[in-house]
Amino acid sequence: MAAPASGEYISGRTSISRREPVGVVAAITPWNFPLLQVILKVIPALAVGNTVVLKPAELTPLTAQRLAELTEDLLPPGVLNVVHGPGNPTGSALVAHPDVALVSFTGSVAAGRAIVRSASDGLKRVVLELGGNAPAIVFDDADVDAAVETLTACALGNAGQDCTASSRQLVHSGIYDRYLDQIVSAVSQIRIGATDDEKTELGPLISSAQRSRVEALVDGRSSGARLLAGGKRADLPGFYLEPTVIADVDQSESLVQQEVFGPVITVQRFETDDQALAFGNGTRYGLAASVWTQNLARAHHFANSLNAGSVWVNDHTLFSPDVPQGGYGDSGYGKENGVLGAEELTRLKQVSVNLS
């Protein structure tokens, strides 16, 4: 991990910088990836010497509980602790506890703001990943077949319940109609079914409330937005919603300005590079984005100009445990993964030694 090199910056004194664990880390994880999110928070925190109190989402508590049971004989008592319950009062009490030094949270913007307000009373550090509505910008020189294949998969994976999902697709007017035909065709071939069926490509949403929220966004679309596919509940036991494509969506409406978190793809037409960039940056989120083009100069321009913590070129939702991830704006702040993510969970101490 990075720290200033030791040396004699003052004559006769040796300066040493060292990183130390912060102490107790409160890890509050979401329901959409219940094992992955726990690992992303717990393993780095323990690796740099902290202890962890983990509160998993109340809708998916069993994964975290099982992980604690499996590590019970591997870790000293009290190093990894799991508490269960809703955000209020369980999460709130954890954030406010005086022994907690840092809060690492993934979840909604509203909950993130509440955590920051509470943590500020104790001057606690906070790492936040608060979701997004990632734009995928497809230019007329892009490989349309590759874009449709990748962006369909990344929009509908985990039933669209992914904060980096490519659910907001911006397409150049020169290929707009062709793109719509292809993506509607791709969506129509998606196999909906039970999650324990290996042939299933789209499973249910997490809850009835989540499905109703997504349906409300779809039903509340503007009069000019065209529903080209889906939009209805699948005739299956569970909280299923058909994969949905909505074209000609206006930049100002809720489907663009809010995180959908369901199997919904919106498609917007753009004419110029400036308009594409304005649409891409035209929300309060800044978590992830992708740009699809064969023009290297344009690719670098958009990668530099998009207001997103992660930008992919001719790809989407590509992650590695060695690559730091994190957002801007209402998508939160701080990093997870890689060395930079581990550094978030440490504090830097300066030591000066006088041996004269």
Cβ neighbours, 10 Å, residue 11: 6
Helix (H, G, I), strand (E, B) or coil at 76: coil
Query: Which of the following CATH numbers is that of domain 135-313: 3.90.180.10, 1.10.240.10, 3.90.1640.10, 3.40.309.10?
Result: 3.40.309.10
State residue 248's pLDDT score.
98
**Euclidean distance between CA atoms 31 and 172, whole angstroms:** 35
Angle at 169 between CA 252 and CA 316, to 5 degrees: 130
Cβ neighbours, 10 Å, residue 124: 20
149 is catalytic: no
Per residue of the chain (356 residues), what is the pLDDT tens digit? 777 888 888 888 899 999 999 999 999 999 999 999 999 999 999 999 999 999 999 999 999 999 999 999 999 999 999 999 999 999 999 999 999 999 999 999 999 999 999 999 999 999 999 989 999 999 999 999 999 999 999 999 999 999 999 999 999 999 999 999 999 999 999 999 999 999 999 999 999 999 999 999 999 999 999 999 999 999 999 999 999 999 999 999 999 999 999 999 999 999 999 999 999 999 999 999 999 999 999 999 999 999 999 999 999 998 888 899 999 999 999 999 999 999 999 999 999 999 87
**Euclidean distance between CA atoms 59 and 206, whole angstroms:** 8
Q: Out of 129, 259, 336, 344, which one is annotated catalytic?
A: 129
HSE-up of residue 233 (Cα within 13 Å, Cβ side) = 13
Determine the angle formed by the axes of helices 144-156 and 176-188, rounding to 10 degrees: 50
**Euclidean distance between CA atoms 269 and 98, whole angstroms:** 51
Q: Out of 163, 242, 259, 344, which one is annotated catalytic?
A: 163
Instruction: State which amino acid sits at residue 237.
Output: P
**Euclidean distance between CA atoms 292 and 316, whole angstroms:** 10
Task: Give the 3-state secondary structure of 278-336.
Answer: HHHCCCCEECEEEEECCCHHHHHHHHHHCCCCEEEECCCCCCCCCCCECCEECCEECCE
163 is catalytic: yes
Buried-state track 241-277, b at ≥16 Cβ within 10 A, e below 16: bbbbbbbbbeeebebbebbbbbbbbbbbbbeebebbb
Helix (H, G, I), strand (E, B) or coil at 176: helix
Closest CA to 339 of 106, 3, 52: 3
Tokens 């590509």 belong to residue: 318
**Residue 104 CB partners (closer than 8 Å, separation 6+):** 25, 26, 27, 28, 41, 45, 126, 127, 334, 336, 344, 345
Query: Which of the following CATH numbers is that of domain 7-130+331-354: 3.40.605.10, 3.40.1480.10, 3.10.20.600, 3.40.50.300?
Result: 3.40.605.10
Edge to edge, the sheet with strand 346-354 lists 7-10, 13-21, 346-354
**Euclidean distance between CA atoms 43 and 24, whole angstroms:** 13
CB 131 within 8 A of CB 162: no
**Euclidean distance between CA atoms 213 and 255, whole angstroms:** 11
Supply the pTM of this predicted model. Answer: 0.94
Domain definitions of the chain by residue range: 7-130+331-354, 135-313
**Euclidean distance between CA atoms 340 and 283, whole angstroms:** 26
Cβ neighbours, 10 Å, residue 149: 14
